[in-house]
């Protein structure tokens, strides 16, 4: 057991947000230890593996300014465009793009600042846009604005990208997920040249160059925390250790953090991810009935609604809606399935994988000319959870919140102002489960680092 070590900051989890936080803090002169349970860093931002589409395939709301501040020399190329819409819906769709773009732009300019107040953000957006995207259930807006079932579906899919939710849910979970997805996508699907792994490698390089120490294969099993500091215990194949720190940044999901803090495991609050990934290998490059590959499968509004209804009845949707993504190999495709909550597969994951594979291959077959044999490798939310310790396989560590502070929110501490606070002053969130996520964005890691630096300055 290694013990007696002390750092200014320990980062629990070396996902991309954790690496961003470590890089900013080490560059500011703090001593930083990152502890990562896997043998590699990056979390869901992973190097390509034989299962091509298993992890994040594009960057999200990653601000160019963050790349510049960290000196990351990454070239991002933009992926395939979203599908076109029929002429009859053209004007409504253009208005949709303008309105959603307006909200996304207003939020995007705040992502590297302390949380804006809701009223300040609202003042920057047309009142009708705010009402349609923030105040009322997204399903109402979509049904009012579009008549075409396919266009309605296209407008709705972003809301279903994280969890299985009704488009009419009065809690507006779907609107919050929609906004998070919008922030991820509104600059197009951007992919680093060289693959997603180059982003993690660049972040790790920047953090270590600045002096951060990164220990992989070190799973944190416990955090003993008080308001003035904490002690973190980790285990690895070569032994165990403890390290004390003034601040602990949690790149693990808030639900996992509660367990590490000794507050127990609460199944009723566990996030439920609802995405499956299917790697499809065809026996030859396919020809498509419509002349071009579809971007979405089974994503008509009626199909999405029926799929959601199936999930509430505990049944796998048939067909499974989702996005079809090309790879560099014309015979290999990745399918990102929606509305497939982890709970559907708890009883028998193997049977679940087989059923997902059958349904996706059958639906794909409807778009292909002639017979094609396809091997399908399926990753369930359970697989994501097992590999990354993302609870319920939820890609955002839990349902997203609005990326602003309520008008009466307490904003007394730097952590509160940056949206990364927990109930313990020495422990801050720094990952996707903090208030601002944006997928692969680095925004949460930046926010946590800025909160620590401000708290340190206030203490001097």
Ligand X SMILES: Cc1cc2nc3c(=O)[nH]c(=O)nc-3n(C[C@H](O)[C@H](O)[C@H](O)COP(=O)(O)OP(=O)(O)OC[C@H]3O[C@@H](n4cnc5c(N)ncnc54)[C@H](O)[C@@H]3O)c2cc1C
| DSSP character string of 287-352 | -BTTSS--SEES-SHHHHHHHHHHHHTT---SSPPEEEEE-SSTTEEEEEE-S--GGGGSS-HHHH
Only segment of 8-16, 308-316, 350-358, 409-417 that touches ligand X (CB under 6 A): 8-16
Considering the rule CB under 6 A, would residue 60 count as an interface residue with ligand X?
Answer: yes
Among 389, 409, 411, 453, binds ligand X (CB under 6 A): 389
Asked if the bond preceding 134 is cis, omega within 30° of 0, the reply is no
CA pair distance 329, 440, nearest whole angstrom: 24
Give the torsion through C-alpha atoms of 367, 370, 371, 375, to 10 deg.
-50
Residue 236 neighbours by CB distance under 10 Å = 17
Q: At a CB cut-off of 8 Å and minimum separation 6, what does 7 contact?
A: 30, 31, 32, 33, 213, 243, 244, 245
Residue 115 lies near ligand X (rule: CB under 6 A) = no
- Closer Cβ to ligand X, 25 or 129, answer by number: 25
Span near ligand X by CB under 6 A; candidates 73-81, 124-132, 152-160, 249-257: 249-257
- Residue 399 lies near ligand X (rule: CB under 6 A): no
Provide, rounded to whole angstroms, the least separation between the CB of residue 370 and ligand X: 31
Minimum distance of ligand X from residue 289's CB (angstroms): 27
> Structure tokens of 333?
């495709």
Which position among 9, 23, 45, 357 is part of the footprint of ligand X (CB under 6 A)?
A: 45
- 305 scored as a contact of ligand X (CB under 6 A): no
Check binding of 440 to ligand X (CB under 6 A). Answer: yes
User: Per rule CB under 6 A, is residue 36 in the interface with ligand X?
Assistant: yes
What is the number of alpha carbons within 13 Å of residue 138 lying toward its C-beta?
A: 27
Contact 115, 419 (CB under 8 A): yes
57 binding ligand X? (CB under 6 A): yes
**Start-to-end CA span in the chain (Å):** 33
According to CB under 6 A, which residues from 210 to 239 bind ligand X?
219-220
Judged by CB under 6 A, the residue of 22, 23, 44, 429 near ligand X is 44
Residue 33 interacts with ligand X (CB under 6 A)? Answer: no
From 156, 338, 431, 435, residue interacting with ligand X (rule: CB under 6 A): 431
CA 442, distance to chain mean position in Å, is: 11
Q: Give residues with Cβ within 8 angstroms of 131, minimum separation 6.
A: none
**16 contacts ligand X (rule: CB under 6 A):** yes
**Of residues 139 and 438, the one with the C-beta less far from ligand X:** 438
The reply to whether 17 sits near ligand X by the rule CB under 6 A is yes
For residue 54, the minimal CB distance to ligand X (Å) is: 6
Question: Which residue's CB is nearer to ligand X, number 151 or number 384?
Answer: 384
Residues in the site for ligand X, rule: CB under 6 A? Answer: 12-18, 35-38, 43-45, 55-60, 184, 219-220, 251-252, 256, 277, 384, 388-390, 395-396, 431-432, 437, 439-440
């Amino acid at each position: 057991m290694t013990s007696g070590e002390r750092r200014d900051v320990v980062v629990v989890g070396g996902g991309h947000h954790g690496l961003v936080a470590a890089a900013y803090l080490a560059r500011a002169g703090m001593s930083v230890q990152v502890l990562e349970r896997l043998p590699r860093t990056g979390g869901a931002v992973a190097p390509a593996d034989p299962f091509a589409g298993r992890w994040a395939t594009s960057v999200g709301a990653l601000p160019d300014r963050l790349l510049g501040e960290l000196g990351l020399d990454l070239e991002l190329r933009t992926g395939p465009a979203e599908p076109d819409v029929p002429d009859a819906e053209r004007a409504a769709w253009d208005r949709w793009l303008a309105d959603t773009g307006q909200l996304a732009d207003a939020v995007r300019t705040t992502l590297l600042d302390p949380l804006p107040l809701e009223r300040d953000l609202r003042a920057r957006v047309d009142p009708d846009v705010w009402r349609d995207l923030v105040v009322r259930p997204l399903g109402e807006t979509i049904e009012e604005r579009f008549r075409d079932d396919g266009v309605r579906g296209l407008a709705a899919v972003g809301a279903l990208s994280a969890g299985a939710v009704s488009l009419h849910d009065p809690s507006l979970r779907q609107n919050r997920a929609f906004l998070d997805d919008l922030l991820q996508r509104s600059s197009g699907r951007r992919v680093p040249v060289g693959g997603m792994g180059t982003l993690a490698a660049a972040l790790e390089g920047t953090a270590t160059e600045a002096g951060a120490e990164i220990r992989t294969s070190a799973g944190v099993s416990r955090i003993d925390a008080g308001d003035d500091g904490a002690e973190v215990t980790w285990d690895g194949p070569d032994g165990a250790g403890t390290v004390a720190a003034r601040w602990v940044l949690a790149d693990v999901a808030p639900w996992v953090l509660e367990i590490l803090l000794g507050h127990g495991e609460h199944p009723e609050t566990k996030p439920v991810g609802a995405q499956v990934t299917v790697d499809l290998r065809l026996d030859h490059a396919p020809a498509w009935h419509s002349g071009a590959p579809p971007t979405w499968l089974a994503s008509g509004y009626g199909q999405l609604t029926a799929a959601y209804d199936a999930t509430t009845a505990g049944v796998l949707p048939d067909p499974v809606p989702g996005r079809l993504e090309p790879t560099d190999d014309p015979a290999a495709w990745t399918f990102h399935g929606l509305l497939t909550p982890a709970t559907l597969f708890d009883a028998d994951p193997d049977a679940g994988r087989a059923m997902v594979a059958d349904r996706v291959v059958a639906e794909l077959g409807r778009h292909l000319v002639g017979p094609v044999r396809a091997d399908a490798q399926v990753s369930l939310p359970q697989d994501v959870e097992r590999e990354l310790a993302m609870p319920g396989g939820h890609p955002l560590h839990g349902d997203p919140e609005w990326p602003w502070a309520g008008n009466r929110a307490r904003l007394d501490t730097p952590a509160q102002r940056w949206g990364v606070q927990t109930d313990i002053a020495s422990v801050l969130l720094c990952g996707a489960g903090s208030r601002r996520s944006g997928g692969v964005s680095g925004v949460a890691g930046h926010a946590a680092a800025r909160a620590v630096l401000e708290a340190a300055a206030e203490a001097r």
